[in-house]
């Protein structure tokens, strides 16, 4: 299993801390063997949980210029028309994906194109499914002019457990659909804003995979697979 670069340092120091704690218990608390074994078991569970969180599975990416691909693993929790105030200042169709702590937390470019806008916002840590988390929580906003023409906005949003967002893009960058654009540590959410005439290909409650699941089709004159 491949481990994502964002988790290697955390896993290394967590392993050292857990090993040290267990060695100290077995050395200085030998008379309580049952307690020591329970702690050892909990240590293994904690480390394996972190290990699966930072996994980076190989993906066969699905790409096409007028299709919007899921930027992350998770469950679709919002599909609605909303006013997007930060960049477009008009009506957009919002699709939101909630990422639980057991999901892969790599975030991927939903389309190919040029980054026309990027901004990091410090903020609160409301639970990721809270309606105001999209505008109140720590987050990043990326706007890409897609190869098909329409502009697409996508946003990494920190959750109650997530306290650090990592990104690998800046304004002016050329990005490729399915490639990593960042990582969110622990429970979180990704919002995607597309033109209102975009055809959504997923439903509320549907589970999606980053880089593979088609979530929407942009309205263009270009030929499509769908």
Q: Which sequence positions are flagged as catalytic?
A: 188
Structure tokens belonging to residue 6? 């964002």
User: Is the separation of the CB atoms in 23 and 40 below 8 Å?
Assistant: no
Task: Give the dihedral of Cα atoms 78, 165, 188, 100; nearest 10 deg.
Answer: 130
- Return the closest-CA partner of residue 100 out of 125, 77, 74: 74
Structure tokens belonging to residue 186? 């622990």
């Amino acid at each position: 299993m491949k481990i994502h670069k964002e988790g290697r340092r955390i896993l290394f120091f967590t392993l050292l801390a857990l090993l040290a704690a267990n060695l100290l218990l077995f050395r200085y608390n030998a008379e309580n063997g049952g307690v020591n074994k329970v702690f050892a078991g909990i240590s293994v569970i904690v480390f394996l949980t972190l290990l699966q969180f930072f996994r980076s599975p190989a993906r066969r990416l699905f790409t096409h210029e007028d299709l919007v691909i899921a930027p992350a693993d998770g469950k679709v929790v919002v599909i609605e028309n909303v006013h997007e105030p930060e960049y477009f200042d008009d009506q957009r169709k919002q699709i939101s994906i909630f990422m639980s702590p057991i999901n892969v937390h790599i975030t991927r470019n939903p389309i190919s194109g040029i980054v026309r806008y990027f901004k990091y916002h410090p903020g609160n840590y409301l639970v990721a499914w809270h309606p105001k988390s999209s505008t109140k929580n720590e987050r990043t906003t990326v706007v890409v002019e897609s190869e098909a023409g329409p502009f697409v906005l996508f946003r990494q949003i920190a959750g109650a457990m997530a306290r650090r967002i990592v990104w690998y893009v800046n304004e002016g960058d050329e990005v490729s659909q399915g490639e990593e654009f960042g990582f969110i540590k622990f429970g979180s959410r990704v919002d995607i804003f597309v033109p209102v005439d975009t055809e959504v290909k997923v439903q509320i409650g549907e589970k999606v995979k980053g880089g593979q699941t088609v979530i929407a089709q942009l309205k263009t004159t270009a030929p499509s697979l769908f």
